Amino acid sequence: MPADERAIELTEVAALAAATLKAEEIIALDVSERLVLTDVFVVASGSSERQVRSIVDAVEEALADHGAKPVRREGVAEARWVLLDFGDIVVHIQHAEDRVYYALERLWKDCPVIELPEEVRAGAQGDGAGQA
């Protein structure tokens, strides 16, 4: 059973919040067929620990406005790989170097990619050109 409407809604909110802070390579994977604990992984990168923390704050604030609070937060102090567990979705915000090393997309490559809003896809390219 694919991710439900609420998970997709929260995914889009989280991705848009990350995009506003210039997060890079934002993707969303529907892991609902593989995991019972969550429906979606949102993965985004920041180029510095400061940016990672800022993205974390923006995502938490945006999701709180939609009634979602994290049930677990890990890695915030180090800001290299922050995991925010909102139940329906888990947001991974990684320092760009760590993202390359751990390659979550490769580990979960069999999971369907969730199409994100155009604003996210345009910003995720890093050039702001708006191409999908």
Helix axes 49-65, 5-20, angle to 10 degrees: 140
The pLDDT tens digits of the residues spanning 69-83 come to 999 999 999 999 999
Q: What is the mean pLDDT of the chain?
A: 91
Q: Where are the domains of the chain?
A: 5-124
Pick the CATH number of 5-124 from 3.30.460.10, 1.20.120.1770, 3.40.190.10, 3.50.50.60: 3.30.460.10
The pLDDT tens digits of the residues spanning 9-52 come to 999 999 999 999 999 999 999 999 999 899 999 999 999 999 99
* pLDDT value for 124: 57
* This model's pTM is above 0.85: yes
Average pLDDT, stretch 50-59? 97
Four-residue CA torsion sign, 25, 68, 89, 12: negative
CA distances from 71 to 33, 43, 85 (A): 21, 18, 6
